[in-house]
């Protein structure tokens, strides 16, 4: 599936939606970026959200206007579980508890252009995967993840266009070492390599409802991961990953709204080998399907929003294939519940 094909389909579908009662300018979500209205947002001195010419802070297509600073502070607790297999034999099940605090800052360079940085700190109750090492490992991992820098441009915007289109390019440098826990030493949560990405958001904002489709591709460069259990390290080849999604927001009142959406992610297989010992293998990552919801409340309309978030994700089987079939490993039946809370805020 190619991103431009998905964009063409979504554009046709979204354009056929009923005309919105009042034009509203919005921008893409702070995570994955805008020409925007020629006039600034109307005054909000009354404490209500102006849906004409304003970008709603909780909206999935939000983007800061020129001169605005946007921030998002989010906490999530991921509780995955699944079954481990070796040579086709179930060797047991696993569960984990992964905490992450993510911080995003964005600045509106123009009404149609924003820059953004995202970084976070996480703490995991065990290493998240048997995929990296080819064996099931336990232990703690914590530390900063690699930051991501991105730029978003909006070539299409309401009300001049019937749809909003955002294009985002991102880059994440190899900032922190990737280490897998072993013995009494804790691991890290860093990736171990650099990554670049390109994403699209195509949507429409109406008075009480927003709908948008998203498509993203990421190129992960070669990665190095240190195994603290035996002092060796693994080298992984570069690979592409793709994510497609549909997100909506329903605004019940001026302060209360509900986000709901689905995403599907998939990645290409890549080679993994121990740098010191060889023992090459091919890792086939799982495809992930996720259902995402968020309940939003504007404590201060379009200035401060609090949200409770929840995601349910389900993975297909991931495998490590070695030269000898007796060494093959797999993770099956992996699913996870992710609960969280976030604060969104914007100021000039």
Q: What's the chain's average pLDDT?
A: 85
Per-residue pLDDT of 47-64, as tens digits, reads 455 443 479 999 999 999
pLDDT at residue 94 above 80? yes
Name residues whose C-beta falls within 8 Å of residue 225's C-beta, 6 or more positions apart in sequence. 132, 133, 178, 179, 180, 192, 233, 234, 236
Stretch 205-223: mean pLDDT, rounded? 97
| Global pTM value | 0.81
Stretch 115-142: mean pLDDT, rounded? 72
Residue 3, pLDDT score: 45
Confidence of residue 137 (pLDDT cuts 50, 70, 90): low
Stretch 104-115: mean pLDDT, rounded? 97
- Residue among 260, 270, 258, 252 nearest 296 (CA): 258
Residue 146, pLDDT score: 97
Task: Decide if domain 3-347 falls under CATH 2.30.33.40.
Answer: no
- What distance in Å separates the CA atoms of residue 187 and residue 35, rounded to the nearest whole number? 44
Which region among 38-52, 95-109, 166-180, 217-231 has the lowest average model confidence (pLDDT)? 38-52
- What distance in Å separates the CA atoms of residue 287 and residue 289, rounded to the nearest whole number? 7
Residue 237, pLDDT score: 95
Per-residue pLDDT of 324-348, as tens digits, reads 999 999 999 999 999 999 999 999 8
- The full length of the chain comes to 348
pLDDT at residue 263 above 80? yes
| Domain residue limits, the chain | 3-347
Using a pLDDT cut of 90, give the percent of the chain over it: 71
Residue 1, pLDDT score: 44
Stretch 215-228: mean pLDDT, rounded? 94
């Amino acid at each position: 599936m190619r991103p431009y094909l998905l964009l063409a389909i979504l554009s046709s579908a979204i354009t056929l939606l009923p005309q919105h009662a009042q034009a509203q300018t919005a921008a893409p979500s702070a995570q994955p970026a805008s020409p925007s209205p020629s006039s600034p947002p109307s005054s909000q001195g009354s404490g209500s959200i102006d849906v004409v010419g304003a970008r709603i802070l909780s909206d999935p297509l939000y983007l800061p206007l020129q001169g605005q600073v946007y921030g998002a502070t989010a906490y999530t607790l991921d509780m995955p579980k699944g079954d481990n297999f070796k040579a086709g034999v179930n060797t047991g099940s696993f569960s984990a508890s992964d905490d992450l605090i993510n911080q995003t800052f964005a600045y509106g360079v123009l009404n149609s252009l924003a820059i953004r940085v995202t970084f976070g700190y996480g703490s995991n109750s065990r290493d998240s995967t048997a995929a990296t090492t080819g064996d099931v490992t336990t232990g703690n991992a914590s530390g900063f993840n690699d930051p991501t820098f991105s730029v978003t441009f909006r070539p299409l915007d309401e009300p001049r266009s019937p749809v909003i289109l955002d294009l985002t390019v991102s880059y994440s440098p190899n900032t922190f070492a990737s280490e897998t826990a072993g013995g009494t030493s804790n691991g890290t949560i860093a990736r171990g390599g650099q990554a670049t990405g390109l994403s699209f958001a195509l949507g429409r904002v109406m008075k009480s409802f927003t709908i948008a489709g998203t498509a993203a591709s990421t190129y992960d460069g070669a990665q190095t991961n240190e195994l603290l259990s035996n002092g060796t390290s693994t080298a992984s080849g570069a690979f592409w990953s793709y994510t497609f999604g549909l997100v909506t927001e329903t605004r019940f009142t001026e302060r209360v709204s509900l986000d709901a959406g689905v995403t599907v992610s998939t990645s290409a297989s890549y080679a993994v080998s121990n740098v010191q010992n060889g023992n090459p293998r091919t890792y086939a990552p799982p495809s992930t399907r996720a259902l995402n919801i968020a309940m939003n409340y504007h404590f201060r309309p379009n200035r401060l929003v609090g949200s409770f978030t929840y995601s349910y994700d389900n993975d297909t089987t991931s495998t490590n294939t070695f030269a000898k079939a007796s060494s093959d490993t797999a993770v099956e039946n992996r699913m996870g519940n992710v609960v969280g809370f976030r604060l969104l805020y914007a100021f000039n």
